[in-house]
Amino acid sequence: EIVLTQSPATLSVSPGERATLSCRASQSVSSHLAWYQQKPGQAPRLLIYNATNRATGVPARFSGSGSGTDFTLTISSLETEDFAVYYCHQRHYRRTFGQGTRAEIK
C-alpha cells in the first residue's frame, strides 16, 4: 500500500496569507496525485489533479506542484471560504488518501 503523509496536521493562517500544504508518498506515484477540499457536512471537492492541473471552476489561487514522492498544494491568498480540510489522494497503485490537513483561521 502507498502511504500518503500530510503535513502539517493543522495549519493556522490569517485570511489573505499564503498557505502551503505538503503530501509525501511512501513510494513514487509519478504525477498521479490529486488534492481535495472538504468542508464540514459536505462531500470532498476536487481541486487539483495529476499534481498540477486545476479542476473545472477552481480559483487560480489554488496551485499544485511536485512529482514522485513530494507534493505541495499552495493557496496564494486564503479567503474565508478556504478554511477546510484538505486531502491528497494517489491513483498510481490502487488508491489511498492522506490523513488530511486542517486549515483554520488564526
Partner 1 sequence: QVRLQESGPGLVKPSGTLSLTCDVSGDSITTPNTWWAWVRQPPGKGLEWIGEIYHVGYTNYNPSLESRVTTSIDISKNQFSLTLRSVTAADTAVYFCARLNNVFFYFDFWGQGILVTVSS
User: Parallel, antiparallel, or unpaired for β 70-75 and 62-67?
Assistant: antiparallel
Q: Is 16 exposed, middle or buried (0-12, 13-18, 19+ CB in 10 A)?
A: exposed
Q: CB 15 → partner 1: shortest distance, Å?
A: 25
Q: CB 92 → partner 1: shortest distance, Å?
A: 11
Please say which residue, 61 or 102, places its beta carbon nearer to partner 1: 102
Interface positions with partner 1 (CB under 8 A): 1, 34, 36, 38, 42-46, 49-50, 53, 55, 87, 89, 91, 94-100
Please say which residue, 18 or 95, places its beta carbon nearer to partner 1: 95
Please say which residue, 13 or 46, places its beta carbon nearer to partner 1: 46
User: Taking the CB of residue 27, how many other CB atoms lie within 10 A of it?
Assistant: 12
Question: Measuring CA to CA, how many Å separate 40 from each of 24, 50, 83?
Answer: 25, 25, 10
